[in-house]
Structure 1
Amino acid sequence: MNRTHLMCTETGEADFRLHGDCWMHLDQGVKRRGLHAYQGAVYLEESTDKDYCFRVMDGSHDFHSEFFRAFPYASEKSKRREFYKFNEEERTWYENNGCQLICVPVPKGGIVLWDARTAHDTIAPLSGRPDTDRWRCVCFVSMTPAIWAGKDDIEFKNKAYAEIAMTTHWSSQGQKRRKSEEKCDDVLSIKKLPVIARTKEAKLLMGVNSYDFNDGEPNGSPAPYWM
């Protein structure tokens, strides 16, 4: 089986659902043109449409650039911070373009992949749902071709790996460390990487070890465009 040289990123609560709940957003800003990454979520517990459930606006990735042209304020704001949360008018704009809001139930052990240009959010569980003891337990993983990573990317990834730090959505080109929002994180966080995280494969994914880009294996598509 052929393999593609990849790199990954690591990222690792809840009121009940109310009518109209929505924090639909984009993680890819206007400066990134086209497909820059596939984001992913690995589910360690089942999630049904009655639980804390992942949602997308179906087909919204096709309207990413058009959205920012239609809403100049959103475009300017996303240049400063890529995460952009929609207001009601912006969400309605996507709906009027045929991008309907759908829930994505996932079985335990399942994985969801989505184009980083996709509008998405998660919705709180229903009050009185059947499995009231079911927690949302998800590990977010995003991968991009390792050949896209420059010297600064590799230095960043090595430091994050050594310090067992969590990072945001981008595994190369625009990486940032994820800030802890809870005091208990230091108590719950691991202090030493497990054996599986110290394997050759894991170190390649994290940029600690270098791929041989001339070994005849695919290196993925060329680096994407920026504004």
Structure 2
Amino acid sequence: MSATQIQTYTTTKEDPGLLKLYQNAAATQFGDWRDDFFKNGYAVIKNVIMPEKAKSYQDRALDWLLSFDLGLDLKDTSTWNQKHLPKSFKSMYHSYCSGHEKFMWDARTEPGILKIYEDLWGTKELVVSFDGFNIGLPKRTDVEGTPWPHCDQAPSRKGLACAQGFLNLAPSGPKDGGLLLMKGSAPLFEEFFSEPREMFTPPGGGPPKDFLDLFLFKQEHLDWFRDRGCELIKVDCGPGDFVIWDSRTMHYAAFPEGEEIRTVFYICYTPRAFGEQEQMDLKARLFETYRGTTHWPHCNIRTSEPLMVDGKLDPMERLEPLEKPERTDLILKLAAVKAW
């Protein structure tokens, strides 16, 4: 698939009835979390799983982190630094086959999470991202929490194309880090990009040119949204809550500063019908080799390469997860290995 095809691909495969619904979503009363989602660009769905189960998922993720045997001690904050941790990007773990650990697939098949996306898209025939998770250790002195406001949808895409989400596993209050977003920015997405906009270029350069579904905002862009009534907020939530946001929403993550270890699993689904067969075939191959993807489930299926450090293969890199997922009928369908 060419770069042009990827860049201009929209949700044109939707059922016409769904497409009409999304166009009028802001004026539609759903009577559930979708009212907040379409108005503000995000929603918090409470108690999708019980807090006790959330704690068990967090324990499994922390056991994974300890499995690298780098001297990390969860009771000793002096070890909470990069010397004692595997490589991550802003505490987000996408390497080491992390996205295919059994605990990640167990979470992806939670009925309450699936129902959220079934209600959003109007179908049970979904595919899921092979995304990773975030384990944010507070009180770290070796990381810089520089804001990086962005959206994960290309300006050329029109309308709702993707809705990101995470399962929250630990208390997340004002001091516990987490998702910051520009409330109300998603409905203004097309108005904002109706004129040329220059993306912010961070020190060291921006994303690869073929990484299309990303736009980094400048400070003046934040002011543009604020002038139209939008507000930058921190999303607080509890263990077992699910947070979902429109990929057109300006957002970024903050490092925790309190006592809680921030732990979230990134989970995102879109209808299988949105995906071109070439992309679905690649997705199926990545499942078989335990490689990760972006948060886009049906496109942007980028082959993730083994993690390199100083030009050499990271000696901690893994070829398979510590605990492989069960090859259930549902998992194989969500992974695009089997047809619905």
Q: Give me the TM-score of the superposition, normalised by structure 1.
A: 0.77
Alpha-carbon distance, 1:60 to partner: 0.6
Structure 2 residue aligned with 1:10: 130
Cα distance between partner residues in 2 of 1:143 and 1:208:
15
Structure 2 residue aligned with 1:121: 252
Structure 2 residue aligned with 1:33: 158
Structure 1 residue aligned with 2:296: 170
Cα distance between partner residues in 2 of 1:43 and 1:177:
27
Alpha-carbon distance, 1:187 to partner: 5.0
Cα distance between partner residues in 2 of 1:38 and 1:71:
25
Query: Does residue 203 of the first structure (1) align with residue 332 of the second (2)?
Result: yes
Structure 2 residue aligned with 1:156: 282
Supply the AA of the counterpart residue of 1:118: T
> Residues 107-163 of structure 1, C-alpha deviation per residue, up to 9 Å, x if partnerless?
11221111111111111223xx2x2xx222221111111111221121111111001
Supply the AA of the counterpart residue of 1:9: S
Cα distance between partner residues in 2 of 1:188 and 1:52:
31
For the 8 Å contact 2:158–2:190, the answer to whether it is kept is: yes
SS of equivalent to 1:33: coil
SS of equivalent to 1:102: strand
1:65-104 matched pairs, under 5 angstroms: 65-74=190-199, 81-104=212-235
Cα distance between partner residues in 2 of 1:185 and 1:114:
33
Structure 1 residue aligned with 2:267: 141
1:185-200 matched pairs, under 5 angstroms: 186-187=317-318, 190-191=321-322, 193-195=324-326, 198-200=327-329
For the 8 Å contact 2:294–2:300, the answer to whether it is kept is: no
SS of equivalent to 1:28: coil
Alpha-carbon distance, 1:44 to partner: 2.5
1:86 to 1:151, Cα distance in 2 relative to 1, 3 A: same
Alpha-carbon distance, 1:168 to partner: 0.3
> Residues 47-102 of structure 1, C-alpha deviation per residue, up to 9 Å, x if partnerless?
22211211111111011112222443249x99853222211111111111111011
Cα distance between partner residues in 2 of 1:167 and 1:31:
21
Q: How many residues align?
A: 201
Cα distance between partner residues in 2 of 1:192 and 1:64:
41
SS of equivalent to 1:55: strand
Query: Which of the two has greater strand per residue?
Result: 1
SS of equivalent to 2:130: strand
Work out which of the residue numbers 41, 48, 61 in structure 1 matches 2:173.
48
1:178 to 1:39, Cα distance in 2 relative to 1, 3 A: farther
Alpha-carbon distance, 1:188 to partner: 10
Q: Which has the higher contact order (CA 8 A, sep 6+)?
A: 1
Unpaired segments ≥5 residues, structure 2? 1-114, 201-205
Cα distance between partner residues in 2 of 1:191 and 1:139:
17
Cα distance between partner residues in 1 of 2:126 and 2:288:
19
Alpha-carbon distance, 1:185 to partner: 5.8
Cα distance between partner residues in 2 of 1:53 and 1:206:
28
Supply the AA of the counterpart residue of 1:156: L
For the 8 Å contact 2:199–2:218, the answer to whether it is kept is: no
Alpha-carbon distance, 1:175 to partner: 2.2
Query: RMSD value over aligned CA atoms?
Result: 2.9
Alpha-carbon distance, 1:46 to partner: 2.5
Alpha-carbon distance, 1:181 to partner: 6.9
Structure 1 residue aligned with 2:30: none
1:173 to 1:188, Cα distance in 2 relative to 1, 3 A: closer
Work out which of the residue numbers 235, 241, 245 in structure 2 matches 1:110.
241
For the 8 Å contact 2:163–2:244, the answer to whether it is kept is: yes
Supply the AA of the counterpart residue of 1:58: K
